[in-house]
A and B are shown apart, each in its own frame.
Chain A
């Protein structure tokens, strides 16, 4: 179908689009303003630079004052009103809107303007920018809930009636899915169906609002707003850890934190007086922003984007306004200037951050540590070891002279027997496991050529002499045949060595000796890629080491050396062979190009990277009789002893270092979450011309747009003040936006359909008084119901949701009746809505009994087709996806790990956003790819098997009973006779087919890692499983009715 001719759907019976009756009073804000906004504001609106003829129509005062040609409108005088003359002119040079704008006023719009002028041309600001007043609730007989009063009053005006209440089966499924995102259990259904009490439904609602799964359901949408993900976004898209923030959100909903506090803690919890750790964690909201880590990025550019993303996200989430337009110019429709945009920028630019990615595969500062009690206890233990180790050193220092005297004698002997530190190793065989060609060079080095695999592994094998061995020396050489004539095989000439291992075998050895390397030293480390990373990465790594040694190959073509020293000397038996393995696992293609090895038997304290021998001066000093040594010689000997040979001091020093390292490492292992932390002195903020980071104009100060109320009295001029401003009773948007979206959740469409935009260009509300009444009630809580006996607070989300779902309007049947309201904007029936992506999967897990209901914690890895992360990227640590085993496969979907550049595909098919930017509204589509996922995706096939199993084991003894049980689990109702007949026939057909080919039953039952009881006959179980597959695909099941 072509969309070219239909730009947006025509709304039904909304005030601005209604045919106008001459006797009706035109309302400026609902009927006239939308026309002017769409047709006139681009040139006669907020954007000063584009304003024509000095005329501004979006503000009352300016509109009344008029433009260069005088007043645009003269009350009750069409002929004197320039606006009327222009919109009705036939002169192409005078008619408004001008032909080149492509905008044309419709006859009914002209009629509206005419009547408005004739009736006195009253002006008002845009309705959503006016303070929320509390309209009177209309009196409607037989209803007590104000929501019903407003809705039925309007229905009555239109000559329509409300639908009857839905069946109890429908109702409990509807409200359970809406409030917890899970289907009701049979016990919950039965309890409700059999409860004769008048407050039976209210009890259900209270139970659901008190369920820990309520917070999960609410958090699901909030994650879209907050652009929550487990990756940093942009090119590399490596991992980050923000699940502690997600846990905070779930808990905040579950403890029913009022929305004003919910707002303040997330935007500015760190600025509260003596903030609790929890309140700081809350500020992770605005650290969910993507961070650019691309090589070659310009930091200033992306710092600005990070800050601007926060403004856009804040605007969309709390105000349903798009502020982003104002980065380049004054807003075209809403009263926000470009300068005011940068005044908002100034609230968010003073975090102690760079605005770009600083840690691949981790959290970029500022972070908040979130140790558990166990973490804290362990840390205390580790810290206590430090003073003990320091005391030991102090005592050893008093006895060092005696040790030196002893060492001097030993050292003199060693010098005689061991003239060279490093002995060149000549391997018998060198091979590349990745298929590269390694060729021996005259200087005993080996040169790689041919194919350059992504992560090559070299094996260097050869005989070594018996004796002691304490370390290895690796030399790397540039070569003209290598890319960039440098050291590595990557096209830029670099390499990243990630692992060095040495294994010694000999006929006399029962088990090979694995030489433990605990120290590595090089003559050059590329910043960020130290050689020690080879050692450190090894001790903690699981799988591939993502760190390693690099040498700035693109710019430095120089010989390089690195030595790898053993933790303890290795005793090499006769006829031994050493196998040295080199791996290059961090970045594809970064393999070393030409290399050579040497070995040493020197004590590790004395080994130097320098292949030259001990300095001649030191040899001479040692050889000189003690009494004849000069002061310089004595100093040199003492210095050498201290640096290389005083083993006891070294050990003591190492013990201190180890104790401190243990503390540091443990601290580093404590989970963190990225949070907001304000700089002591705010950064300056500037007006950026055309929104360009490198085009600063005048300096700007923090401030809120002048068309809105000013900051509340006493509010500080920082993020906290801004948050308090959003959460104040005076703010015209926050409450309206929230109740409108709550409405959308329960009724499918917001009272203002454009829940993402309540500005000038928004669609007019279907029930303006109801919207304002709800917003006022949300902020004031005068009649909101108690939830589970707890009185409602101001900004009480649970109480407001309870009010909505308790209404008769919510409880209506969804059966479609032929009325002239196809979109059901007047709510003469209940809406049917396809379930959100997460709920679709959660429901299948719940119905089948597979779901693991644990709340919170790090993200998990459910089934995902192979290659989703890898087919388009070989960067970063989020590659090689492996599904979890066990619980991680069956957790609720909001815990699924989220990589922004390759999000979970089965969720994307069901309209989940990529979470790269704030998304406040999802589309709701119906596609063949959804059908394929529900039919064939492992989760759904496995869930069907488990549901089949439940039918067999819990459902009774006859096919009819079992199928009825399964149908009821899936839909919350019993099948009709016709429906049951289709299922029974199908079951028998499947059973016969599986019995004819029993191996197909076994194959079908093999999908998924969970087990089924062996007592069940495979052919029978397979037939029930296939029927369950039908049930899980029913339109009714993927829809909340």
Chain B
């Protein structure tokens, strides 16, 4: 990447060398200030995915309205979910009091697309065009039944707060390949299908018991994208550089007196902070994006903080080798009025998701970028509340849901796993959330059983003591 402040850096190094030439720490310090290439990370095995873009759909998209067609349900509208299907499994208290569990067949039409013939709903017209890049897993399953524990489980491998998130594990295990940007970047957007749902929590990208340096950096949608990035009013980059030079000089003098390497590290961190002050605005500045690219992502792309804008930003982060980019799009929790609400969500996400895949492919980045698209659980075939020809709602369903993958190391055009006619239970090839996380780490070159951190006397893993790599979806 172009380096804008070379002149300033030069001056800066000169000042610094003058004031600390006699010090013992000079060599170490000077090497820290070199714009050296970051060390190539050591992995357990060759990584298929150098980076990941995880498109988290928060609130739980309805699998039978988007990905897993159940035509035989059409005749069963309003009939009660048979006990033989439900098998006494627990329900949330939002519907456990219902006298009946009326089946609500999806009102959306499905058709097959691409060479692979993957089935997709009519409300995903853009993603239908990239199905040959997708790997669809219809048999994800999880343990939690409420949003907070479920999304925490996807992100950390535990329903309860306190464990590191998957991106923090990746940062801890693999480090950064970019010296000017964070290793784990999080982007969030509200959905138009249900504008107030579902809240997100800082823990979802937190570092748990790992050092906090591994926590995700959430780019904000207002003010500074990275907290406190901008200089105060009245302070321009020249003034800032000047103060940083003094700071460096004084810190270096102190380093010479005390010889604590922490001081050298701090000097280097101030330099990176300074570089971020130009690398982040440059990242966010879309003026060099051609019109046809912007159009590909759809009209929302010009609205900062939209899912489409975040998808484009994800591509720009991927280009800069940011290891782990995670989008969270809210608004998928459709307990009532699902048909209208889910259309809104698809308008938000369909075009931009497809554009991201296409755009990465055109730039030869898809081959070593892993894309994941999915939520925290699925939804019930039965309606929460009444069901009509045009309207219904669906409660939480942890026993099966659909997730998409694309890009590095995954089979293209594959539809994997089979659910029963009610989309209630898994018939074939279950994939647990731990299996998914094991597979994601595997693609990044990490053996999930060996990426451990000792805390409270125990060697913790993202996958706890579980997780099997889903070999069948690997290319």
Contacts and interface: CB of A to CB of B under 8 A. Distances in A.
A463 interface: no
Interface string B239-251: 1101100110111
B161 A759 contact: no
Given A332-B458, A483-B336, A815-B257, A979 B232 contact: no
Given A294-B146, A554-B384, A925-B211, A993 B239 contact: yes
Interface stretch (A377-385, A732-740, A908-916): A908-916
B198 A235 contact: yes
Contact of B457 (A762, A976, A990, A1001): A762
A325 B199 CA distance: 29
A457 interface: no
Nearest to B43: A4
B145 A1004 contact: no
B39 A1 contact: yes
B231 interface: yes
B370 interface: no
A635 interface: no
B235 A1000 contact: yes
Interface string B377-390: 00000001110100
Interface string B299-333: 00000000000000000000000000000101000
A927 B207 CA distance: 14
Given A235-B148, A762-B457, A982 B160 contact: no
A874 interface: yes
A322 interface: yes
Given A298-B90, A816-B258, A872-B201, A914 B228 contact: no
Contacts of A875: 196, 199
A932 B232 contact: no
Interface stretch (B79-87, B106-114, B168-176, B428-436): B168-176
A295 B172 contact: no
A983 B253 CA distance: 13
B456 interface: yes
Main secondary structure of the interface of A (DSSP, over half): loop
A1002 B235 CA distance: 11
Contacts of B335: 491-492, 554
Interface stretch (A497-505, A607-615, A792-800, A935-943): A935-943
Contact of B188 (A872, A876, A930): A872
A936 B213 CA distance: 20
Nearest to A1008: B232
Interface in A863-910: 865-867, 871-876, 900-903, 905-906, 908-909
Contacts of B198: 235
Nearest to A494: B336
Contacts of A876: 199
Given A4-B42, A925-B213, A982-B246, A1035 B457 contact: no
Given A902-B202, A916-B203, A587 B262 contact: no
B179 to A, nearest CB: 10
A609 B291 CA distance: 61
Q: Bin the interface of chain A by size.
A: 35 or more
B378 to A, nearest CB: 15
Given A2-B175, A871-B188, A983-B246, A926 B161 contact: no
Given A865-B223, A911-B212, A322 B459 contact: no
A756 interface: yes
Contact of A235 (B182, B199, B238, B328): B199
Given A926-B266, A982-B19, A932 B226 contact: yes
B282 interface: no
Contacts of B466: none
A260 interface: no
A1030 interface: yes
A725 B306 CA distance: 56
A937 B224 CA distance: 11
Contact of A928 (B145, B233, B270): B270
A917 interface: yes
A492 B354 CA distance: 30
A1036 B262 CA distance: 11
B340 A483 contact: yes
Interface string A997-1030: 0011111111100000000000000100010011
B172 A986 contact: no
B229 A936 contact: yes
B457 A754 contact: yes
Contacts of B451: 4
Interface in A586-607: 587-589
B231 A305 contact: no
Interface in A969-999: 976, 978-979, 982-983, 985-986, 989-990, 993, 999
Interface in A284-301: 290, 292, 294-299
B220 A589 contact: no
Given A815-B257, A983-B246, A933 B455 contact: no
Interface in A526-556: 554-555
B254 A1003 contact: no
A935 B273 contact: yes
Contact of A1022 (B234, B277, B450): B234
B178 interface: no
Contact of B458 (A236, A322, A1000): A322
Given A454-B195, A555-B385, A986-B242, A491 B393 contact: yes
Interface string A1-22: 1111101100000000000000
B368 to A, nearest CB: 18
A587 B188 contact: no
B128 interface: no
A932 B251 contact: no
A146 interface: no
A872 B204 CA distance: 11
Given A982-B250, A1007-B232, A1026-B235, A928 B273 contact: yes
Contacts of B173: 2-4
Nearest to B238: A993
B336 A832 contact: no
A554 B202 contact: no
* Chain B CB within 10 A, most for which of A454, A871, A903: A871
Nearest to A942: B232
B146 A485 contact: no
Given A4-B450, A865-B223, A982-B249, A935 B231 contact: yes
A333 interface: yes
Contacts of B393: 484, 491-492, 554
B83 to A, nearest CB: 18
B446 interface: yes
B211 A815 contact: no
A273 interface: no
B130 interface: no
Given A928-B276, A936-B232, 20 more contacts: A4-B450, A7-B454, A295-B94, A454-B196, A484-B336, A484-B385, A485-B391, A554-B335, A873-B199, A903-B202, A908-B202, A929-B182, A976-B253, A978-B19, A990-B239, A1000-B236, A1003-B234, A1026-B239, A1034-B247, A1035-B266
7 contacts: A292-B148, A865-B224, A874-B199, A916-B161, A929-B227, A982-B249, A1003-B232
Interface of A: 1-5, 7-8, 102, 233-237, 290, 292, 294-299, 305, 316, 322, 325, 332-334, 454, 483-485, 490-493, 554-555, 557, 587-589, 694, 754, 756-757, 759-762, 814-816, 832, 834, 865-867, 871-876, 900-903, 905-906, 908-909, 911, 914, 916-917, 923, 925-933, 935-937, 941, 976, 978-979, 982-983, 985-986, 989-990, 993, 999-1007, 1022, 1026, 1029-1030, 1033-1036, 1039, 1041
Interface of B: 19, 39, 41-44, 90, 92-95, 145-148, 160-162, 172-175, 182, 188, 190, 193-203, 206, 210-213, 215, 217-218, 220-224, 226-236, 238-240, 242-243, 246-247, 249-251, 253-255, 257-260, 262-263, 265-267, 269-270, 272-273, 276-277, 328, 330, 334-338, 340-341, 384-386, 388, 391, 393, 395-396, 446, 449-459
